[in-house]
Amino acid sequence: MAKPDNRADNEVHLQNAIDNTMANINEAEDYLDEHADEISATDKQAIEAKNQRRRQSIQGFIEEKKDEANQ
């Protein structure tokens, strides 16, 4: 038998995802600040691109959290 769909804590999980993703962005930016002169331009560009994808994910999490709050 399938488990019932329990969405009671979805907002909490989404907020955790937002917080963790922000922490990853900050960690990557700190790394770039400290080691930008030691890494290749390709690696730097890859980190910046990944952070951009993380920011897009955060926007998706925020929209999903808004949807959950309205239900």
Distance CA 36, CA 51 (A): 15
Report the mean per-residue pLDDT for the chain: 92
**Could you tell me the residue ranges of all domains in the chain?**
10-69
- pLDDT for 49 equals 98
Predicted confidence pLDDT, tens digits, the chain (71 residues): 777 767 778 999 999 999 999 999 999 999 999 999 999 999 999 999 999 999 999 999 999 999 988 87
- Structure letter (DSSP) for residue 8: T
Whether residue 24 contacts residue 47, with contact meaning beta carbons closer than 8 Å, is answered with: no
List the one residue out of 44, 45, 52, 51 whose CA is nearest residue 25.
51
- pLDDT for 55 equals 98
